[in-house]
Amino acid sequence: MSFQAVRKDRADLEREKRFLIAHAAAHDRIYRYLRRRTVNAATAEDLCSEVFRIAWEKSANDDLLSIMILFGVAKNVLRNHDRSAVRSARLIGELCADRPSEASARDSPLLEALERLNPDEREVLLLTYWDGFTSREISDLLNISATAIRMRLHRARKVLGHLIQTEGAEL
């Protein structure tokens, strides 16, 4: 066995080790992030596997697979999925134009209030409270200053509280 073959095997083992460490550290959080933003568990699993497929490709370049990089990949994978879903829904809508749509049932006043929030504010709330990120981590993920994140979070909490109080009074 040549020296280059041994060196390549060692590099492959290091790559696999880096990937497995990143996978163990981030898989559950990535899956929960995707699950809350998709219609069903199967879609979340598919998207999660796509995130880690991309992560495996990135690990070939000796790139560091931090959790923030993986969440960035997850965000892009989810964005691509959403664009695809919109195109599919539009096509299905055109094919079934004469069929009446069914009204979707609301699960709770909180979910209804979250849906009524500005998408940027909703994203900051979800990343903070459901995904457990700090302002600094969210600022890195969204490419916005941590101060702007804290301001968005403050406004989002205020608006959400008002929406919940208003909808609670209507019930």
- Taking the chain (171 residues) in runs of 10, the rounded mean pLDDT of each run is 63 87 94 94 95 90 83 95 86 58 53 86 90 91 92 93 77 45
Give the model confidence (pLDDT) of 23-45 as tens digits: 999 999 999 999 999 999 999 99
The pLDDT of residue 59: 83
C-alpha pair distances (Å), 53 with each of 46, 60, 119, 153, 155: 10, 11, 28, 32, 37
The pLDDT of residue 86: 86
The pLDDT of residue 99: 43
